[in-house]
Each structure stands twice: as C-alpha cells, then as structure tokens.
C-alpha cells in the first residue's frame, strides 16, 4: 500500500469519526432523505440554497464509515459553490469511485492523478476496487442531487422492490 493510500484511509477514518457539518440545518430550504439498503446507510441532507449557490450544507445519518465520511466531505466540498459546480463535482466524484470510464484499466498513478484536483474527495479513489462500497460513497451525492433538483421521493440506491404492492 502506498503512503498516499494510507493517508487517504486516515482521512476517511477521521471524517467518519468526527463528521463535519453534522446536524440538522434550521435555515435549510432543501432537505432530502437517502437510503442504501444494501449496507444499512441512512442520511438526510440539508441545504440552504440562495441565488443558485449552496450557502450552507449539513447532514444527519448513520451508517458505515465510508458513507459517513462521504457525506461529511461532500458538505465541506460543496459549501460556497454554485449548484452547477456541485453537480459537476458529483459527476467527477462518481467517475472516480466507479472507476469509469476514465479510469478503466488505468494505473494507480493515473487514478491518483485524476483525483488530485478533487482535493480531499480523492481519498475515495480506492473505493472503485470494492463495488459493494461504491453505493456507500455515492449515497450522500445522489441525495444531494435529488435535493437540488427538488425531488419529493426519498432516494434509495436500490430500485423499489415489488413487495409492498406498489401499483
Ligand atoms: Zn455503507
């Protein structure tokens, strides 16, 4: 394991133990729940969006260290940025953690290089090697996107099952 990988693990551990921006945001004007049933991760994202800019971001939730660290770092990353920038960041983050398409077959150096200008979010570059954890890392971001778009249904990383008799 490279030193950088070790550093990345420390960053994730730190954010999962001491999540930033954790707590309900009373002044939020966007709010969305997200669930990752595969792992049991839950999150609620709060945003205060004004003039197309994410002024404040917060979250509450529970789950594995990847999901908690991802939500924590996401709220830090998007605060003060425009909605468009936040969505662009999500696309790049998603490419990073799914290892596609830019990373397909790329060397570790290449992956690390790609993540460099994502700042701390690059800590999740190792997640692409563990497909089961990708949804943990992406949950907060999918929930963010739904909140920005003003969707009303809670986000789930799994398709709704046929159980429960939905028409
Ligand atoms: Zn998880």
pLDDT of the residue at 131: 86
Per the prediction, the chain carries an average pLDDT of 88
Give percent of the chain with pLDDT exceeding 90: 68
Architecture of the domain whose range is 2-151: Alpha-Beta Complex (3.90)
Work out the burial of residue 128: count CB atoms within 10 Å of its CB; fewer than 13 is exposed, 13-18 middle, 19 or more buried: buried
Calculate how far, in angstroms, residue 52's C-alpha sits from the geometric centre of ligand 1: 30
pLDDT of the residue at 162: 47
Asked if pLDDT for residue 164 goes beyond 80, the answer is no
Calculate how far, in angstroms, residue 166's C-alpha sits from the geometric centre of ligand 1: 27
CA–CA gap between residue 167 and residue 61 (Å, rounded): 30
Calculate how far, in angstroms, residue 51's C-alpha sits from the geometric centre of ligand 1: 33
Alpha-carbon distance values, 4 to 123, 131, 153 (Å): 9, 21, 39
| Average pLDDT of the residues in 54-66 | 97
Compute CA 137 distance to the chain's CA centroid, rounded to the nearest angstrom. 5
CA–CA gap between residue 98 and residue 137 (Å, rounded): 10
Calculate how far, in angstroms, residue 22's C-alpha sits from the geometric centre of ligand 1: 17
The pair phi, psi for residue 33, each rounded to 5°, is: -95, 145
Give percent of the chain with pLDDT exceeding 70: 83
Q: Find the helix or strand (DSSP H, E) in which 62 lies.
A: strand 53-62
Residues around the ion ligand 1 (C-beta < 5 A):
39, 41, 63-64, 67, 136
Calculate how far, in angstroms, residue 38's C-alpha sits from the geometric centre of ligand 1: 8
Asked if pLDDT for residue 163 goes beyond 60, the answer is no
Calculate how far, in angstroms, residue 37's C-alpha sits from the geometric centre of ligand 1: 9
| 165: confidence class by pLDDT, cuts 50, 70, 90 | very low
Calculate how far, in angstroms, residue 65's C-alpha sits from the geometric centre of ligand 1: 7
CA–CA gap between residue 5 and residue 130 (Å, rounded): 14
Calculate how far, in angstroms, residue 78's C-alpha sits from the geometric centre of ligand 1: 21
* 3-class secondary structure, 163: coil
The per-residue pLDDT for range 102-161, each reduced to its tens digit, is 445 556 666 556 566 688 899 998 898 888 899 999 999 999 999 999 998 999 998 765
For the whole model, what pTM was predicted? 0.86
Among 50-64, 87-101, 122-136, top mean pLDDT goes to 50-64
pLDDT of the residue at 166: 46
Please report, for the chain, the start and end positions of each structural domain, with discontinuous segments joined by +. Answer: 2-151
Calculate how far, in angstroms, residue 137's C-alpha sits from the geometric centre of ligand 1: 7
Calculate how far, in angstroms, residue 136's C-alpha sits from the geometric centre of ligand 1: 4
Calculate how far, in angstroms, residue 101's C-alpha sits from the geometric centre of ligand 1: 23
């Amino acid at each position: 394991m490279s030193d950088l990988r070790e550093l990345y693990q420390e960053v994730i551990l730190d954010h999962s133990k001491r999540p930033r921006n954790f707590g309900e945001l009373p002044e939020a004007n966007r709010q969305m729940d997200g669930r990752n049933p595969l792992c049991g991760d839950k999150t609620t994202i709060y945003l205060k969006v004004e003039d197309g800019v994410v002024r404040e971001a917060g979250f509450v939730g529970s789950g594995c260290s990847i999901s908690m660290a991802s939500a924590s770092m996401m709220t830090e990353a998007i605060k003060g940025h425009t909605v468009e920038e936040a969505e662009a960041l999500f696309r790049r983050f998603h490419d990073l953690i799914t290892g596609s398409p830019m990373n397909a077959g790329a060397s570790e150096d290449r992956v690390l290089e790609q993540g460099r200008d994502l700042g701390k979010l690059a800590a999740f570059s190792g997640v692409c090697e563990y497909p089961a954890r990708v949804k943990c890392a992406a949950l907060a971001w999918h929930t963010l996107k739904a909140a920005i778009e003003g969707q009303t249904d809670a986000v789930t990383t799994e398709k709704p099952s046929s159980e429960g008799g939905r028409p």
